[in-house]
Amino acid sequence: MMHTFGTTMRRLTAGAAIALIMAAAAPAYAATPADTLVQAWAIDDIISMDPGEAFELSTAEITANTYSLLVRLDLSDTSKVKGDLAESWTVSDDGLTFTFKLKPGMTFASGNPITAEDVAWSIERVVKMDKSPAFILTQFGLSGDNVTEKAKAVDAATFSFTVDKPYAPSFVLNCLTATVGAVVDKKLVLEHVAPVTPTAEYKYDNDFGNAWLKTNFAGSGPFKLREWRANEVVVLERNDNYFGEKAKLARVIYRHLKESSGQRLALENGDIDIARNLEPNDLESVSGNADLSFDSAPKGLVYFITFNQKNPNLAKPEVVEALKYLIDYDAIGATLIKGVGDIHQTFLPKGVLGELDEKPYKLDVAKAKELLAKAGLPDGFSITMDVRSTQPATGIAESFQQTAAQAGIKIELIPGDGKQVLTKFRSRTHEIYFGEWGQDYFDPNSNAETFTINYDNSDTGKVKTLAWRSAWDVPKAMTDEAKAALTEKDGEKRAAMYRNLQKKFLEVGPFAIVYQKTEVAGLRKGVAGFKLGPSFDNTFLGGVTKE
């Protein structure tokens, strides 16, 4: 059970809700309370609830509903941002300093006032902890040595942020919409910092509350985190101190239920209100049910297979190209992702500036064999592949295993839960990995940087992009082009740069992008106001009601 603070963390008062939580892992379900939204979702990817560390898809949605940011994506026009904590902002004439004025009278869930000092310290702790998502902020020239000067409180209601070069202002603002930009309650977190012995890698004498925030909460969003039990349940509770419109429901419960068939059955029986991982067959089987409705949205989420360049066989360009020809894209699109995704082979998802809808690869075993022979591997080789044990990931991996075998490549599948496979991928100890990547912010650089920039390919590299995780020493020309696009003010020119970058990536990148996700949610009759967002961190639950 997570730590509670003061009187702000109320006990769950509905007996039915308590029973539902306690029975989260049981095969039988209780009816959902009228004031509680119950969602079934595969949440085994959650590693930490600290917004300065969390870098997983499920956590991002939870963070979006429990923490506030300076600015958020404007869902009515995704080319813009709108104020969250910020009432207004200005950019200096030289394009380097962004000054934000905060809305007055706001408080955290704890009751502590929200000040510019909280904003500044939230950025400081992200930079100094230097966890996985820190690069989103450190790319602006921030370091542990300069962050207190570059990100500072001018006064209680004014925050100043200075970057190292005149980027397109929209790029800077879009980065601040990332979950790593969440503002934490400095006073509360400081009560829970743990001492740390400084090292050459980490020179600070405390953990900035990281150990505590892994399972606790210090935010100001419409909901507050009540509890997280790994691979079981996440419970959110309405934050009555929220500065905006209060959440309609008392609580939201995410129940970990991986299998689509189990989610479908629970939805049909009324044991849950929303199912988030329905597969094509289950979607089709309930499509005519009058008690259910559906919401769908194309997501800025791409699924890929990556080939670790540390492996001598996978490091051969001909082998990488051969493997791209051993994926049966047509069959995957027609069956495994029908209704929940579209075949997509470039790293920018549809709907993003610079998108490129080109699909040069299809299943071609003969072509793959020619390439393998050219690489000196006419009989193929044996390799392992890590994959999350959920669908359609497992089905796609099995399909790839079967088609690769036709060219003599023997793939041993290593299934695991989200935490296991992510941890292995992030440590570069995989061989082949099937994974997903969602935009950290609604700008093409979010994907361009992670797929095409690797500043230091050593195991001690600090910026752990997907290219780094795959040990790909990206050609300098590609890196230079990705960097140049950041400061291009002309939208059309910038889009053309990203399209050109994707064409090069298709040819030489050790990744096979397979598809772009279409998220589909099945809803019980009576659920209103639920709308899937265009990315994984903007499905907001405050306006949801139940009749």
**In 3D, which of 423, 274, 399 has the Cα closest to residue 329?**
399
Instruction: Round to whole Å and give the CA distance between 77 and 24.
Output: 38
Helix/strand/coil (H, E, C) string of 355-415?
CCCCCCCCCCHHHHHHHHHHCCCCCCCEEEEEEECCCCHHHHHHHHHHHHHCCCCEEEEEE
**In 3D, which of 390, 386, 387, 388 has the Cα closest to residue 257?**
390
Instruction: Round to whole Å and give the CA distance between 240 and 111.
Output: 10
Q: Which two tokens stand for residue 527?
A: 């659920």
Return the bridge partners of 225, or none: 236
Q: Which two tokens stand for residue 414?
A: 């290593």
**Structure confidence at residue 19 (pLDDT):** 52
Instruction: Round to whole Å and give the CA distance between 503 and 511.
Output: 13
Cis amide leading into 444 (omega within 30): no
What the chain holds in terms of domains, given with CATH numbers, is 1-62+221-291+525-547 (3.40.190.10), 68-211 (3.90.76.10), 299-518 (3.10.105.10)
Number of other residues whose CB lies within 10 A of the CB of residue 482: 22
**pLDDT tens across the length of the chain (547 residues):** 333 333 333 334 444 554 554 454 444 555 799 999 999 999 999 999 999 999 988 999 999 999 999 999 999 888 889 999 999 999 999 999 999 999 999 999 999 999 999 999 999 999 999 998 999 999 999 999 999 999 999 999 999 999 999 998 889 999 999 999 999 999 999 999 999 999 988 999 999 999 999 999 999 999 999 999 999 999 999 999 999 999 999 999 999 998 999 999 999 999 999 999 998 889 988 888 999 999 998 888 999 999 999 999 999 999 999 999 999 999 999 999 998 999 999 999 998 889 999 999 999 999 999 999 999 999 999 999 999 999 999 999 999 999 999 999 999 999 999 889 999 999 999 999 999 998 888 899 999 999 999 999 999 998 899 999 999 999 999 999 999 998 887 889 999 999 999 999 999 999 999 999 999 999 999 999 999 998 889 999 999 999 8
**In 3D, which of 421, 483, 453, 447 has the Cα closest to residue 344?**
447
264-302: b (≥16 Cβ within 10 Å) or e: bbbbbeebbbbbbbbbbebbeebeeeeebeeeebbbbbb
Contacts of 191 (CB under 8 A, 6+ apart): none
**Structure confidence at residue 13 (pLDDT):** 46
Q: What CA–CA distances, in Å, run from 301 to 67, 277, 347, 388?
A: 22, 15, 9, 16
Tell me the pairing of strands 36-41 and 274-275. parallel
Structure letter (DSSP) for residue 485:
G
Return the bridge partners of 296, or none: 520
**In 3D, which of 508, 546, 536 has the Cα closest to residue 59?**
536
Q: For residue 296, how many C-alpha atoms fall within 13 Å in the half-sphere facing its CB? A: 14
Q: Which residue has the tokens 């602006």?
A: 140
Instruction: Round to whole Å and give the CA distance between 98 and 90.
Output: 6
Q: Which two tokens stand for residue 221?
A: 């969003």
Instruction: Round to whole Å and give the CA distance between 259 and 178.
Output: 29
Whole-prediction pTM: 0.79
Instruction: Round to whole Å and give the CA distance between 154 and 119.
Output: 11
**Structure confidence at residue 35 (pLDDT):** 97
Long-range contacts formed by 414-418: CB under 8 A, 24+ apart? 414/384, 414/385, 414/386, 414/387, 415/387, 415/388, 415/389, 416/386, 416/387, 416/388, 416/389, 417/44, 417/45, 417/231, 417/388, 417/389, 418/42, 418/44, 418/45, 418/46, 418/56, 418/58, 418/388, 418/390
Q: Which two tokens stand for residue 471?
A: 């040990």
CA 203 remoteness from chain centre? 28
Q: Residue 241: is it exposed, middle or buried by C-beta count within 10 angstroms (0-12/13-18/19+)?
A: middle
CB 254 within 8 A of CB 20: no
**In 3D, which of 155, 156, 172, 148 has the Cα closest to residue 71?**
172
Number of other residues whose CB lies within 10 A of the CB of residue 360: 11
Instruction: Round to whole Å and give the CA distance between 135 and 463.
Output: 6
Instruction: Round to whole Å and give the CA distance between 42 and 247.
Output: 24
**Rounded (10°) CA dihedral 260, 263, 264, 267:** -160
For the chain, state the CA radius of gyration.
23
Q: Which two tokens stand for residue 528?
A: 């209103």
